[in-house]
Amino acid sequence: MKTRLNSIAMAGALLASGALMPGHASAGVRVCTFPGSPSTVLDEAVTREAFRTAGVALTLAPGGFAGSDDDGVSLKELDKALARKCDVIAGFPRSSVADGSNSKLTFSRAYLHSGYVSVTMHESAAQTSGAEIVAATYASPAQLIAVQQPNVTLDLENTAEQTVDAVANGHAQRAIVWYPAVVAYTKTHPEQRFRIAQAESAYADWHLVFAFGKNGAALQPRIDAALAKMESNGRLAALTRGWTLPRLAQASVPEAAEFAYRDGPRRADFKWPIMRAGGRDIGQGRFIKVDAAVSADAPAFDRAQVAHGKTLYSSACAKCHGPELQGLNAPALRGPSFAPTANAKLTIGGVYGYMANNMPADRPGKMKPQDYADIMAFLLYSNGYSAGKSKLTDESARASSKPLNAGSSLNAGTSP
């Protein structure tokens, strides 16, 4: 498996465009699958049946992303594939929590409800008192989920297959991994027996859909109708049998509201196993909610911080939160879901403290305090706060009890 599943998941919110080109009608609609995806066999089977049911001729183009490598499917590759090699993408992962809100793609209804699970060996030994070794796929939702687990040491693997294998060969005690990867692994390693539980995070819940280019609105209703028919006559259930999450795993899915403003579940007795540079403990980093009785001004920041913060964000944050802060496999950091124009539930200081303690997910607390302050200045500026002449510091950012409300040019300082 060459292409990492994390990049496939991230592609679920990339902005892309494509067309169902009339010039290809005689050869049928070109449908691509992601190279190396563990669900390719399923995706192709559902594609054939759905398009047959819809009365649409198709050509499977599994090489649509042939240029991809271990760096995953980039935005450029996705655009190129949709423009030149395929009209529809099968096996496109979507999440109601992590999807970007401004995608130019059109999506079908889901044909598989799946997600990220916690995997252990069926006969695994009891955990010792030390930190648990948890494997996860690098730069993926799995990593974001795993980094929130209490008392763990992360084992980051390059592919989902290697993540499962880390548990099978005893290198890790547990893994957070995309469930179809477990299914694909057991098909090639039938001797292995795993215990599966749902990963407790809002980021664990995903669906597989068809994604259409910019002219796909004409085709999307027909495929939706076909999928609905396949669901009613039992054909879809027959095709997806074996790929659906076990009922035990589904039963442990948490309520979405429990995770509305943080990256995963927390326990009051939880202690982070990671130290910041300089030996300081990283705290739990919970968001601080707004106290309606407190009146405060937003902390000031200057334009130099905004520019530096943008550079830092691009290198350390954009791979999960999106180059335009639109959200990829982590929440958006701009707009009403992050900073509403009124009735904010979070404070600036609470958001800043969470970021400085817990981000980036691959190495929490790795930056200098002033670098985190500069990123916060960029986030504030991107959400409608005005730059002034005073510098935002780590101390002033943490101390802010101001609700995080966007959209006003009078929120902070005076424009230079």
| Distance separating alpha carbons of residues 121 and 182, to the nearest angstrom | 12
First-to-final CA distance of the chain: 52
SS3 88: strand
Residue 301: name the closest of 368, 405, 364, 384 by CA.
384
The residues of the chain that CATH labels 3.40.190.10 are 5-112+206-248, 114-203
Q: Are 286 and 266 in contact (CB under 8 A)?
A: yes
Counting every residue written for the chain, the total comes to 416
**Whole-prediction pTM:** 0.61
Phi, psi (deg, nearest 5) at residue 131: -65, 140
Tokens of 330: 């982590």
Instruction: State whether CATH 1.10.760.10 applies to domain 274-399.
Output: yes
> According to CATH, what is the number of the domain 5-112+206-248?
3.40.190.10
∠ CA 382-266-148, rounded to 5°: 65
From first to last of the 416 residues of the chain, give the pLDDT tens digit: 333 444 444 444 333 323 333 334 446 888 988 877 899 999 999 999 999 999 999 998 766 665 444 335 555 667 677 777 888 999 988 886 655 444 577 899 999 999 899 999 977 655 556 788 999 887 678 877 887 777 888 888 888 999 999 999 999 999 999 999 999 999 999 999 899 998 877 778 889 999 887 766 689 999 999 999 999 999 999 999 999 988 755 544 444 333 333 333 333 333 333 222 233 333 444 444 454 455 567 889 999 999 999 999 998 888 888 888 887 767 788 877 778 777 777 788 888 888 887 788 767 778 899 999 999 999 999 988 989 999 999 999 988 888 888 764 434 443 33
Topology of the domain comprising 114-203? D-Maltodextrin-Binding Protein; domain 2 (3.40.190)
Strand ranges, E, within 321-380:
none
Q: Are 89 and 32 in contact (CB under 8 A)?
A: yes
What is Dmax (Cα atoms) for the chain? 67
The residues of the chain that CATH labels 1.10.760.10 are 274-399
- DSSP state at residue 177: E
Chain mean pLDDT for the chain: 75
Q: Are 121 and 168 in contact (CB under 8 A)?
A: yes
DSSP per-residue letters across 38-68 = TTHHHHHHHHHHHHHHHT--EEE-GGGGTT-
